[in-house]
Amino acid sequence: MQHLCLRHFLNNIFLLEMAATLCVKLLPKQGWLPLTQSVRHGSKAVTRHMRPMHFLKQKLMAVTQYVPPKRVIPRGAYPSKSKHMQEDSPFMLMMKRNVKAVFQESKMIAVVQNNGSNSEDMMILRHRLHKHGITVKFFPNQVMRSFLKDSVYSNMAPLFLCPTVLFVSKETKVKEMLVTLRGSPQMTLLGACIDNTLLSAQGVVNYSKLSSMTVVQGELVGGLTMLTSQTASMLHRQPAHLSALLQQYVKQQSSESGAEEASKAEEAS
């Protein structure tokens, strides 16, 4: 039964195809439209993909890439970036010469911060320091920084950022300076340059605890004298010991010879 139905279906399809063929041949082609028209919706399928560029070709493209030249700026269109150095005034040069003379003539230069002390306190402080041979100097921070910038004392420049005063002395009077500063709480020690050595505030305190030069020289001379005396005693010890041994040997020989003579005399009698 199924076989008959399939055969009947195939016959119908064949008859339809024959009818369509006859219609195409018999009907005129002008103005003819097909009975069915297929319409495609959606995007087209991508049938070709971009292949990745070879590594060597990428390097070649990067090397041969066009680099446009820089735009030439006409001279004078923009202001110059170079800083104009301002020349020092005659007063500034004179102050710098005074600072240079102070650094050359002084062994101790202490930088002290002035925390708003009045003129009377400053006068009392100067009088106390003058008793120990210490002088108070006032220089503007701008002058100090300008001088220190091109000198061997350039590491002292960070100390001059606030109102400061210089305590200057031709000798290292550190202990006297610290004792005097204890009576002036408005003055704070920031640092010092002693014997061409930059010290902090704590370093100045530690320096004041060291012995004086005369004491160190006396200890050095005493130590050298003791060493030389020990060396001389060690040099004289061997000859003295040798002479003592020789004397003992002579005494021993003389005693032995005396005993032999006594024994010979007894035998003869």
pLDDT (average), residues 212-226: 76
For tokens 């709480």, what's the residue? 185
Beta partners for residue 259, in sequence order:
none
What pLDDT does 254 receive?
79
Residue 169 CB contacts under 8 Å (≥ 6 apart), including other chains? 106, 107, 108, 132, 133, 134, 135, 177
Task: Report the C-alpha gap between 127 and 121 in whole angstroms.
Answer: 10
pLDDT (average), residues 91-96: 88
More confident position, 32 or 137: 137
What pLDDT does 87 receive?
72
Q: Which two tokens stand for residue 132?
A: 């120990």
Its pTM surpasses 0.85: no
For tokens 């195939």, what's the residue? 10
40 DSSP assignment: -
18-27, 107-116, 124-133, 242-251: lowest mean pLDDT where? 18-27
Query: 3-state class of 123 per DSSP?
Result: helix
pLDDT (average), residues 151-179: 90
Q: Which two tokens stand for residue 171?
A: 């000798």
What pLDDT does 135 receive?
92
Residue 110 CB contacts under 8 Å (≥ 6 apart), including other chains? 166, 167, 168, 177, 189, 191, 192, 193, 204
What pLDDT does 98 receive?
92
